Amino acid sequence: MSRIGNLPVAIPAGVTFSQKDNVVTVKGPKGELNQSVDPSIIVEVADDHIKFTRKNDEKQTRAFHGLYRSLINNMIIGVSEGYKKELELVGVGYRASNQGNLVELSLGYTHTIFIQLPLEVKVETKSERNKNPLILLESCDKQLLGQVCAKIRSFRKSEPYKGKGVKFVGEEIRRKSGKTAAAK
């Protein structure tokens, strides 16, 4: 029995929900998102709440029950409030700047890295003296935002010995002692 799938999703004011065939569309002040839903899951709207039921008790259908409830809940939160992620560049000489959705990264390589972000993602870079550069990302699509963050992090992952690399703000990097500590 899916505990997540059985929870109803509240539709906040200013958000419109529509369903045609097996495609769910959610519109709000931050944007519009679409999601196709498997035919084995029934989506019903009643009293500003969305309920999800399944047609049968097969293993795959039970898995879809909680999945689509979570996806549509994330869509509703995204179009009403939006999602924000902050990436921090830790390292000497690491820099970030942007012009529109084109981000330029200097991450200790011999060349600068240019990455063109999707139009749905808003980007802002901050560089203050004596602080690590920040990349602020904002979008209504949680999945796309996570994918963009993973792509930026893949250019220079945080390493455990010096802690250098691209990390989320507030993320704790598990540090290792070097070989000099093992000799003692």
Q: Which domain holds residue 109?
A: 83-168
Give the tens place of pLDDT for each residue, 96-137.
Answer: 999 999 999 999 999 999 999 999 999 999 999 999 999 999
Q: Does residue 138 belong to any structural domain of this protein?
A: yes
Residues 67 and 112 in one domain: no
Residue 63 CB neighbour total at 10 angstroms: 14
What's 27's domain CATH number? 3.90.930.12
- Measure Cα distances from 109 to 3, 60, 91, 164 in Å: 48, 45, 12, 13
> How far, in Å, CA of 68 to CA of 28, rounded?
19
Residues 75 and 87 in one domain: no
Residues 106 and 119 in one domain: yes
Residues 47 and 117 in one domain: no
Residue 3's pLDDT is what?
Answer: 84
Q: Does residue 68 belong to any structural domain of this protein?
A: yes
Residues 69 and 19 in one domain: yes
**Among the listed residues 121, 26, 24, 19, the one whose alpha carbon sits nearest the alpha carbon of residue 79:** 26
Torsion sign (Cα): 21, 22, 23, 28 = positive
Residue after which a domain boundary falls, among 59, 80, 101: 80
Residue 177's pLDDT is what?
Answer: 87
3-state secondary structure of 109: coil
Residues 150 and 116 in one domain: yes
3-state secondary structure of 63: helix
134: DSSP letter:
E
Residues 66 and 123 in one domain: no
Distant-in-sequence contacts of 104-113, Cβ < 8 A, 24+ apart: 105/152, 105/155, 107/155, 107/156, 107/166, 108/156, 108/164, 113/155
Residues 92 and 153 in one domain: yes
> How far, in Å, CA of 7 to CA of 1, rounded?
12
pLDDT band of residue 183 (cuts 50, 70, 90) is low
